[in-house]
A and B are shown apart, each in its own frame.
Chain A
Amino acid sequence: DTGVSQDPRHKITKRGQNVTFRCDPISEHNRLYWYRQTLGQGPEFLTYFQNEAQLEKSRLLSDRFSAERPKGSFSTLEIQRTEQGDSAMYLCASSLGLRRDNEQFFGPGTRLTVL
């Protein structure tokens, strides 16, 4: 499968625990995006990378959230000291990063449930 992949697909954790999600983009894509989607809502932007550089970060991304893309390929999103409000679908997308026609391709998401 040459699409965007995310791991794990589902994560159940207890409040206060740390969790880490991984995203593998389409191989030639240099941009990688993280979004969060709560039930019944559209996705919300969290952050995006061009290669290993984090270009933009949402105010939604509190100090408990950190994202990395150390070698410009896969990315990780870590949530420390999880809260029940962190329960959501975490979506990753990637793109070629073209100025025009920069289509984003989405992964299947990681569904997080914080008990």
Chain B
Amino acid sequence: KNEVEQSPQNLTAQEGEFITINCSYSVGISALHWLQQHPGGGIVSLFMLSSGKKKHGRLIATINIQEKHSSLHITASHPRDSAVYICAVRGGHNTDKLIFGTGTRLQVFP
């Protein structure tokens, strides 16, 4: 079993729909990241969380440390949101490496 699991693996939506991507992890963490990767490989950091909730524009990320679970929400989705969304955790306090999920491929159709 992977240390970081994401669901769903693939997601299609119509423009305007509310989208949720889930991430569960099995290790102790010091922070959780949500990343966006477009075709061609470039990775952009969306959020870094250690507790609670963060919002940026139409994106909202939440984390429940006790349940080892995080969600990324996209409100009023748009075709330009089409990308792979990756959850990554920074494990513990003695390491700075990230452990990544396999990603969720999102396609938003007009």
A residues at B contact (CB < 8 Å): 31, 33, 35, 37, 40-45, 48, 55-56, 58, 89, 91, 93, 95, 97, 100-106, 108-109, 111
Contacts and interface: CB of A to CB of B under 8 A. Distances in A.
Interface of A is mostly: strand
A52 to B, nearest CB: 16
Interface of B is mostly: strand
A34 to B, nearest CB: 10
A37 B102 CA distance: 10
Nearest to A57: B97
B71 interface: no
A91 B41 contact: yes
30 contacts: A31-B96, A33-B96, A33-B97, A33-B98, A41-B103, A42-B86, A42-B88, A42-B103, A43-B43, A43-B86, A43-B98, A43-B100, A45-B97, A48-B96, A55-B96, A89-B41, A91-B41, A91-B43, A97-B96, A100-B30, A102-B31, A102-B96, A103-B33, A103-B45, A104-B98, A106-B42, A106-B43, A108-B42, A109-B41, A109-B42
